[in-house]
Amino acid sequence: MDERVVDAARGWLGTPYVHQASSKGSGADCLGLIRGIWREIFGNEPEAPPAYTADWAECGSQELLLAAATRHLMPVAADELWAPGQVLLFRMRQAAIAKHLGVLSAAGAESRFLHAYTYHGVTESPLTPPWRSRIVARFRFP
């Protein structure tokens, strides 16, 4: 469990959704939220993200977000316990690339996660079966 990650993420609640932004209180997308947490806990970001579309149904052969997460975060094995503070990577459409991120804020029967998406901004949502079925990887901050 990494409460500092959950606390940092909750500090972004209410930040409006702005594609490719990462500014607490002003605007962020899901990657911007993770980038902002990184800056709050570790300082400078390890790399600048390339331009990307907001399309969750985008198909392609390059899993850029998965590759970047693998470079900078620590993978969580599938059989490891779910713990608050873990970063969740979602594939939102069958055959699409993984393009959504969140932070697990509560594990167990009442699992929840923090994330940012269109029309909602940074919010905390129940990790319902439809959301859980879209998770392709879990990570933790170093």
- pTM score of the predicted model: 0.95
**CA 104 to CA 85: how far, in whole Å?**
5
In the block, residue with structure tokens 């901004």:
121
**Burial grade of 83 (CB within 10 A; 0-12, 13-18, 19 or more):** middle
Residue 123: name the closest of 102, 108, 107 by CA.
102
Tens-digit pLDDT profile for residues 78-132: 999 999 999 999 999 888 899 999 999 999 999 999 999 999 999 999 999 999 9
Domain positions in the chain are 3-48+60-140
Superfamily of domain 3-48+60-140: endopeptidase domain like (from Nostoc punctiforme) (3.90.1720.10)
